Amino acid sequence: MRYAILLAALVFCSACEDTGDSCNSGTSDIGALCLPRTLAPGITAAIQVRELCGRGCSENPSCTAVFRNSQVVLDMQQTTCTSQLTAACVDMGCQTRIIPCALPALNEGDYPLVVPGAPLQVLHVLDGGQSSCFLPSLDGGVQ
């Protein structure tokens, strides 16, 4: 029994080491995001996004938001490596971690929001709007 646990730990940790495996960064689809009804103008808003289906043993994705061509574009990047194809990592299934994302400060108005893997949405920026929004965790709490 002790040998099986040690072997499983070694397999799991081997995915975390620099083994010379091929690693690539790419855009990950967003499964959910928290947006207030209205955002406050002139400040950086803090929102959260949930990845749609991240690979087991992968690093947490990162989220960036930029204002480009009169719209806000979210990008969630994730690095995946071939070592993450071990049985222990594959058995973890889809990861749906919550990632913070900072929206750029915007003037009052409505702005298209482009989100990978989701339909176009609209950000409403008005006086009295909120500066943050948090997703509930999958167990019902808020992270």
Helix H or strand E segment including 80: strand 71-81
Q: How confident is the model at residue 4 (pLDDT cuts 50, 70, 90)?
A: very low
**Cα gap 36→98, rounded to integer Å:** 17
Under a CB-based contact definition with an 8 Å cutoff, are residues 114 and 30 in contact?
Answer: no
Exposure class string for 19-40: b at 16+ Cβ within 10 A, else e: eeeeeeeeebebbbbbbeebbb
Q: Is pTM beyond 0.85 here?
A: no
pLDDT digits (tens, 9 = 90+) for 93-136: 888 999 999 999 999 999 999 998 788 999 999 999 999 999 98
> Mean pLDDT, the chain, as a whole number?
82
Residue 93, C-beta contacts closer than 8 angstroms, at least 6 positions apart: 56
pLDDT bucket at 85, cuts 50 / 70 / 90: low
